[in-house]
Amino acid sequence: MNIGNMATGLAGLGLAAVIDLNCRVHSPGSRTIWRERDVIAFSGIAGTSLSLLQCIWEGRDVSARSVITLATNASILFYALQLPWGDPMRDFT
């Protein structure tokens, strides 16, 4: 399995986690919320790193697929960074 396929898979995993976090109704103290946030953060960091590696590997002839994968993973990473890390009044009461 090459780097581009792994980065694409992580982009899909991150997008699925974002959709699940935003569309499913969770109880306030649910561990599922934290699990989804962890998956989003991990896939954003690992996917962006692998996408950058793939773009560097391709050099000047970077493909459109690699650029789109990089943009998707970077968007997931930025989404993960803007998520609140915790609200004790809401999450643990």
**What is the C-alpha end-to-end distance of the chain, expressed in Å?**
45
Nearest to 75 by CA among 34, 50, 45, 35: 45
The number of folded domains in the chain is 1
Question: The domain containing residue 63 runs over which residues?
Answer: 3-91
Return per-residue pLDDT of the chain as tens, 93 residues: 588 889 989 899 898 888 888 887 766 556 677 778 888 999 999 999 999 999 999 989 999 999 999 999 999 999 988 877 665 555 554
Residue 44 carries which side chain, given as an amino acid letter? G
